Structure 1
Amino acid sequence: MTTDTTPPEDDLRFWQAVRYLPMRVWLVSAGILVNRAGNFLPVFIVLYVTVTHHSAWASGFVLGAAGLGNVLGNAIGGHLADRLGRRWTMTLSGLLTGVLTAGVPLVDPLPMLILLVFLVGTVSQIYRPAAAALLVDGLNHKQRLAAAGVFRFAMNIGAAIGGVLGGLLAASSYELLFYGNAVAALVFGVVTAVLVRDPAAYQAARSESESVLTEKVGYRTAFADRRLRRFLIMTFVAEAVYIQSTVGLPLHVSDAGLSPTSFGLLIGLNGLIVLVLELPITAAVSRQRPEYVLAVGNLLTGLGLAATAFAGSMSWLAVTVAVWTFGEMMYASMAAAYLGGLAPPHIVGRYQGMYGAAIAAGNGLGPVIGGLLYAANAGVFWVLVAVAGVWSAQLCLPPLLRRRAESAAVPAEPLPPSPAELSERGGSHA
């Protein structure tokens, strides 16, 4: 399962990369499975707000507060992951999330509830950049891709368990629901503190760059990377498109005269395909150039969702779900692995923090924009989904001048060395 010696990257196949993953990847993946299985608050907070006699519009404010907290939490987490370390950042996130989530059933005034949910949304996301950094520290591209695939597999299993378990707990008691969420977060924090260690690659990068770190290297340094800026714009657009599966799709299902159960079955189909096929799909595309895999994935996602407009029966809707699910599977793990190759070793956490913030922003603003557009004109909405999908695919590709330079140059390796590998060779990050 783990070893310090790996074959050269060119000879490393995906399933071999899985075999050579460090133990920390398996520990963090197991921890995230437990954490996601008990992460009930984001899913059930709207129902909780409505049953506690707050008006329906109040749930919008609560969701908005959670979304803002998610963006802020990723930004804070990226900073802490680089300065405090991966292990203690994740531990801090788990413990604070547990304590604050346990207080949700004890707060009744709406302003206090909004503030508390904002704080929970913030601290619950602090772990994400640190966990993502652990999956890329000192690993080559194939191993980063394998680590991302394993991590997502664990997340998806946890989410599936959490949906069922949360429904059962909510039927009994919302207090029990949130206390269970608190326990899961505390377990994640304790397990991280006891079992996880910061990888040697992170410690070496921090030791070698002490002089750089004392010069207040921060998000401004990361944002100066043009490739990162392009990647973040792509991420925001892609997430805003993908989240329409929870906005445009259910609205279309209702307009087509189908029941809410039909929407549930379609989302269940998406989850089933991801659980069964994502790792094999990731393995199949692992030897392809990341930019092109990301572009095809985003294109399938956008066009697959836009095709919903022409599907009026469950059979055709199932086909469209399969198309955008394949796009999701091609995109998700490859995006995480590709970003890991962009970051200089001493600011990996900040790169991951900005990535997480872009995801949270897309997930937060996407439903608002999508809902307004669909209400104004459903046909225009689906056209814009297709256009945004094409745009996100185009953003994945290298700029035209760079592609021309590459085509005119002597053929090189399909993947440039990562900043971590350059550092090991005594090189510098361009």
Structure 2
Amino acid sequence: MVFSKHLYMVILSYILLIIAVAGAGIALIITHTALILGCLFLIISLFFIRALVKQLNKFNAKIRIFLDAMEDKESMILFNEQSADKEMNALSHSLNRINELLATTKSQSRVQENFYHSLLEEVPNGVLAWNSEKRVLFVNGAALRLLGVESIIFLRQLEEQYPILKDFITHGNVENSFLLQSNSKKQLSLSMNRMKLNSETITLLAIKDISNELNEKESESWNKLTRVLTHEIMNTIAPIISLSQTLSLRPGMDEKVIRGLGVIREQSERLMEFTESYRRLSYMPEPKKKRFSLTNSLHNLGLLLQSDFENAHIHFILRSTPSDIYIEGDEKQLSQVFLNLLKNSMQSLEGKTDGQIEVTLEVTNKLYIRLLDNGRGIPMELQEKIFVPFFTTKTEGTGIGLSLCRQIIKRHGGNFYLQESRQGKTMFVIEWPVASFILK
């Protein structure tokens, strides 16, 4: 540094001058050559020492101000470089240069920190970090959304909402993952990692929504089972129908036997029809996608069911924000989905005189289609079973309605789930992929 060399030269000059003047004064006094002149030289050397100390104190004071500013993280301090003291100007220039470099480094570090922060905010998986005192240091939007909370400052907030997490957070093994069902019924996979940062232990929690993967595996398993069952049942029933028809046509058969064979044939045909409905579920055709107005399609369904709504004292509401939304999909299959959901809501409103069904279309980061009714709701113990094929709470149901709806939505790249259900409020939600809807 130029200033350092200059400072060394100034100090060295002062020291040499002091030594020379003081040495000359001492020599004159010792040799009795000129006592007065020797004393004068000593006095002059004292003035030089005082000047050196004063200059060093000025240097130290300015450096102390600079260090105090750095300790207080104050980067706006600026030293005057235009004074009459050249040495102080050189020091001020050096300190200003150091301050500028530190400010640049801090700015670059802040930019990099903002980049990583933005990067973590954009990832679909949740990220949560806390220290040994369980104070949350970082949480991204995905984590808040998946866990269904507005903010997390201390982990106890999370432990109060999800008591099952307490043991995993405290004693969780970094090599194991943990499955958690969120309040919105999403299946979450949690994995943990610990690291040292400035001698402090930091714990990182990664949160991933695996609902789609689990649903796909479950649907795949049910489809395989359905194919096997329908194949075996239909192969068994077909000969029974054929034999009952053949036997009933034989001459001389007793009337009771003929009626019995008719009952066998009728029940077998019903079983065949029932099995055929499941076969259609397992061999669902690929959607024939085209562009159509989802808003108009739902409006038309409302008109189709208008007389049914009026007879059942049901008020139907359709809200769309924006007012007209187009999507790419199979209109026939999707109309089947919405018609099935509307009829389910109507059945849950039986006996009510103030029934209401509200369908809301809302665009945020995705297209959300929400169907809300104020019916009797679905019992808590049944909510996890309603999408399972063969499961039904209706005496005449087949148990393929909601399962078929979910499969159709999945084939369109969307997600379909029950958000909440209790007495007086049931809400089903369809999340439509962002690439498949068009605003108009």
Shared fold by TM > 0.5? no
Name the TM-score, length of structure 2 as normaliser.
0.19
Of Structure 1 and Structure 2, the greater strand share is in 2
Identify which of structures 1 and 2 has the higher relative contact order when contacts are C-alpha pairs closer than 8 Å and 6+ apart. 1
Name the TM-score, length of structure 1 as normaliser.
0.19
Larger radius of gyration: 2
